[in-house]
Amino acid sequence: MNDTFLKACRGEQTDYTPIWMMRQAGRYLPEYQAVRGNVTFLELCKNPELCVEVTLQPIDLLNMDAAILFSDILIPMEAMGTPLMFHEGKGPIFPEPIRTQDAVNRLRVPDPDAETGFVMETIRLLRRELNVPLIGFSGAPFTLATYLIEGGSSKVFWETKKMMFTAPELFHALMDKITECTSLYLQAQARAGAQALQIFDSWAGVLAPCDFEEFALPYVQRIINDLKDTGLPIIYFANNGATLLDLSVQSGADVIGLDWRINIGEAITRVGEKAVQGNIDPFALLLPEAKLRKRIQGILDGARDAHGHIFNLGHGIHQFTPPAQAKLAVDLVHELSAR
Amino acid sequence: MNDTFLKACRGEQTDYTPIWMMRQAGRYLPEYQAVRGNVTFLELCKNPELCVEVTLQPIDLLNMDAAILFSDILIPMEAMGTPLMFHEGKGPIFPEPIRTQDAVNRLRVPDPDAETGFVMETIRLLRRELNVPLIGFSGAPFTLATYLIEGGSSKVFWETKKMMFTAPELFHALMDKITECTSLYLQAQARAGAQALQIFDSWAGVLAPCDFEEFALPYVQRIINDLKDTGLPIIYFANNGATLLDLSVQSGADVIGLDWRINIGEAITRVGEKAVQGNIDPFALLLPEAKLRKRIQGILDGARDAHGHIFNLGHGIHQFTPPAQAKLAVDLVHELSAR
């Protein structure tokens, strides 16, 4: 069992810097495309055998130091009773956006074992196969709320902010319900065997710090507090969150995820006694070997004083990334960080 | 003549904090929509009389302390010889993206007075009408390059970064040419009568600091250096650029624009002896009066120690903003900052 990743999460000494990549089970791999060619995205998410297969691919092919459950952050939102569709190339769509108290009242808090049992089954199956730690995950409440309120992805989040600024009680009522659902969902993942949990706040970066503090952070804190008894390391990743780092530390997470926009050394100064995860620009995987080596060395040097460092991309790996370049990055991190 | 804005740019004492809003001449105003209803966006941009009319609207209606030329950052790119189209609701499209050395070679460096004379004419006409300072503007080379390389707007800038990381000489050749064009374009605006110049780096925030330093900043520096002789205050706005502030200061600009993601007090600490412009979340204009007052007071308090502060939004005003709320914000800034 390779437990380098878990040691780094806890800030313990490791023989080298562990690496995994957000979206490592994904479209850049022809092996993933082959599986995905026969099923829709939602069918794949709900099929434990296929989820296991694609989760394992980057571990076997690229030698990652951690696996992350293949799933989607919106799976538990669908289980709350909101119809969800994925249109090829268009991202997720909720045809019935949640914008009224009635709509919030109609949302259910699902039993995660009963209604998203396929996720828990995937975790149980994976634990039998894996020789690296398994990361479970969820979206953060603010990010999940944006999808429900906007009815899908958004560029500017007009409807979300309109609700925050003109109907804050309604917004908080929605956040309450999403938080309860998410907390139970992650607790179920822990029971099923997840060995670390990452909370993805993909859209937190659209909030001013004062709004993040009022509308988003308290809900992340509640979830992480609920997870204390599991003893699992919790990773909180607020994408585009360089100006939210001081607040993100207050989430209670053990590891702070960093996007590529900030120098990792500066981030570590602000994060203090927490482990960090990140943070190469995913597109920098395109660099020729000599430059990629230099870029990775720079991040490793910058993370010298971290209380634990897990190497990762600053965002999900892009679908057009050549797998050989991803493999090269993994090998370089292992080589350059060997102690 | 109300020169409060120009004084603030130079860090001089003012009777109150001046305010203008990015995209203040725009779709949220019914008066703008009425003009726009009869012409396409590009026709409007190329018609000096109509440009004057829409530029003046927010000055008259909302009592702004500065006017900004109505135009589009891509106008000089079209003059370089790349066909440009605007599709309703889809943003700009360059049907012939620039991705090869041949395509770069074919770009011309236009004479701004001859080929974008309508912009200069708009400036001359506006100066006769205005009793507040007139801001001219351009895009920054990196931002302009993304449009040319991607062929329009982009979410992730794959083509741009692919060129940066795999064909850096080609990228720099394109940046060189755009920079020459932009520098001449802003110099012509200064000759025509612009009293300050803002450089919009709308997409700089997708770059890691090391890449901003290598691929974007040197070109902004070159333009600002070329403008030294004009004596005009230069505003540099790198959107989503909180982690680029230390580098942005090195651009040579007199005023650093701030988006809403950063506490203005923290930004001022990092910016040092420069004036700042910003930075309320444009969507916070939706707040009810008492909360809007508190939010504005917080920004004014945070900017207490600034070496000059121009109040602005952290991004362009959103098209669905009620004009009465924008007016309320202007009045509140004037009231709360009166010394």
Predicted TM-score of the model (pTM): 0.97
Percentages helix, strand, coil for chain B (3-state, rounded to 5) are: 55, 10, 35
Q: How many Cα atoms sit within 13 Å of B327 on the Cβ side? A: 12
Quick: pLDDT tens for A112-147.
999 999 999 999 999 999 999 999 999 999 999 999
Please give the DSSP secondary-structure letter assigned to residue A105. Answer: H
Quick: pLDDT tens for A82-99.
999 998 778 899 999 999
Which residues does A255 contact at the CB level (< 8 Å), separation at least 6?
Answer: A9, A233, A234, A235, A236, A274, A275, A276, A277, A308, A310
Tell me if B163 sits within 8 A of B109, measured CB to CB. Answer: no
- Across the range B50-61, mean pLDDT stands at 98
Return the pLDDT at B199.
98
Sign of torsion over alpha carbons B292, B298, B304, B310? negative
Interface test with A, best of B160, B264, B283 (most A CBs within 10 A): B283
β-sheet bridge partners, residue B278: B311
pLDDT averaged over chain A?
Answer: 97
Quick: pLDDT tens for B255-298.
999 999 999 999 999 999 999 999 999 999 999 999 999 999 99
- Structural domain boundaries enclosing B199: 4-337
Return the pLDDT at A112.
98
* Chain B residues closer than 8 Å to A157 by CB: 283
* Chain B residues closer than 8 Å to A206 by CB: 261
Asked if ipTM goes beyond 0.90, one says yes
What distances in angstroms separate CA A259 from CA A17, A244, A278, one per listed residue?
Answer: 18, 12, 7
Cα-Cα end-to-end distance for chain B: 19
Distance from the Cα of B162 to chain A's closest Cα (Å) equals: 7
- Across the range A54-58, mean pLDDT stands at 98
Q: Is the pLDDT of residue A20 over 80?
A: yes
Query: How far, in Å, CA of A165 to CA of B329, rounded?
Result: 15
Quick: pLDDT tens for A262-313.
999 999 999 999 999 999 999 999 999 999 999 999 999 999 999 999 999 9
Which ranges of chain B would DSSP assign to H, the alpha helix?
A: 4-9, 30-36, 41-45, 48-62, 75-79, 101-106, 112-115, 117-129, 141-150, 158-166, 168-192, 209-211, 217-226, 245-249, 264-271, 289-302, 323-337
Scanning the structure block, which residue is given the tokens 């590009």? B42
Return the pLDDT at B87.
85
Number of CB atoms found within 10 A of residue B27's CB? 15
Q: Does B262 touch chain A (CB under 8 A)?
A: yes
Scanning the structure block, which residue is given the tokens 């720099």? B172
- Chain A with chain B: Cβ pairs closer than 8 A: 84
Return the pLDDT at A89.
76
Q: In 3D, which of A330, A325, A335 has the Cα closest to residue A28?
A: A325
* Chain B residues closer than 8 Å to A209 by CB: 261-263
What distances in angstroms separate CA B241 from CA A89, B136, B207, B246, B262, one per listed residue?
Answer: 29, 21, 9, 10, 9
Query: How far, in Å, CA of A233 to CA of A190, rounded?
Result: 11
Of A281, A286, A318, the CB nearest to B166: A286
The catalytic residues of B are 23, 27, 36, 72, 147
Of A165, A240, A318, the CB nearest to B283: A165
Q: Is the pLDDT of residue B90 over 90?
A: no
Q: Using CB atoms within 10 Å of the CB of residue B102, give its burial: 0 to 12 exposed, 13 to 18 middle, 19+ buried.
A: exposed
Tell me if A134 sits within 8 A of A69, measured CB to CB. Answer: yes
Q: A165 vs B284: CB contact, 8 Å cut-off?
A: yes
Q: In 3D, which of B170, A119, B178 has the Cα closest to residue B186?
A: B178
Query: Which of residues 102 through 161 in chain A touch B, CB cutoff 8 A?
Result: 156-158, 161
Tell me if A226 sits within 8 A of A187, measured CB to CB. Answer: yes
Return the pLDDT at B115.
98
Return the pLDDT at A134.
98
- Report the length, in residues, of chain A: 339
Residue A162's pLDDT band, with cuts at 50, 70 and 90, is very high
Return the pLDDT at B161.
98
Sign of torsion over alpha carbons B54, B59, B64, B66? positive
Long-range contacts of A27-36 (CB under 8 A, 24+ apart): A27/A319, A28/A317, A28/A318, A28/A319, A28/A320, A28/A321, A28/A322, A28/A323, A28/A326, A29/A57, A29/A58, A29/A61, A29/A323, A30/A323, A31/A57, A31/A61, A32/A57
Scanning the structure block, which residue is given the tokens 């309508």? B118
Return the pLDDT at B232.
98
Q: A283 vs B243: CB contact, 8 Å cut-off?
A: no
Q: A287 vs B165: CB contact, 8 Å cut-off?
A: yes
Q: Is the pLDDT of residue B20 over 80?
A: yes
What distances in angstroms separate CA B61 from CA B70, B160, B286, B324, B329, one per listed residue?
Answer: 16, 40, 18, 10, 13
Return the pLDDT at A87.
85
What percent of chain B stands above pLDDT 70?
100
Interface test with A, best of B155, B165, B247, B259 (most A CBs within 10 A): B165
Distance from the Cα of A281 to chain B's closest Cα (Å) equals: 7
* Chain A residues closer than 8 Å to B318 by CB: 156, 158
Please give the DSSP secondary-structure letter assigned to residue A293. Answer: H
Distance from the Cα of A300 to chain B's closest Cα (Å) equals: 15
Distance from the Cα of A49 to chain B's closest Cα (Å) equals: 32
Q: Which two tokens stand for residue B127?
A: 């100066």
What is the three-class DSSP state of A284?
Answer: helix
- Across the range A31-53, mean pLDDT stands at 97
Tell me if A193 sits within 8 A of A123, measured CB to CB. Answer: yes
Q: In 3D, which of B37, B69, B215, B191 has the Cα closest to residue B141?
A: B215
Number of CB atoms found within 10 A of residue A13's CB? 8
Q: Which two tokens stand for residue A9?
A: 């999460």
Q: Is the pLDDT of residue B88 over 80?
A: no
- How would you list the strands of the sheet with B255-257, edge to edge? B67-68, B134-139, B196-201, B234-238, B255-257, B275-280, B309-313
Return the pLDDT at B187.
98
Distance from the Cα of B90 to chain A's closest Cα (Å) equals: 12
The tally of domains found in chain A comes to: 1
- Across the range A201-225, mean pLDDT stands at 98
Residue A46's pLDDT band, with cuts at 50, 70 and 90, is very high
Query: How far, in Å, CA of B174 to CA of B115, rounded?
Result: 20
Domain containing residue B48: CATH number:
3.20.20.210
Query: How far, in Å, CA of B108 to CA of B178, rounded?
Result: 9
What is the three-class DSSP state of A52?
Answer: helix
Cα-Cα end-to-end distance for chain A: 19
Which residues does A229 contact at the CB level (< 8 Å), separation at least 6?
Answer: none
Scanning the structure block, which residue is given the tokens 């620039």? B98
Q: B243 vs A240: CB contact, 8 Å cut-off?
A: no
Return the pLDDT at B220.
98
- Across the range A10-22, mean pLDDT stands at 97
Return the pLDDT at A90.
80
Tell me if B57 sits within 8 A of B29, measured CB to CB. Answer: yes
Return the pLDDT at A88.
77
Helix (H) or strand (E) segment spanning residue A324 = helix A323-337
Number of H helices, E strands in chain A: 17, 9
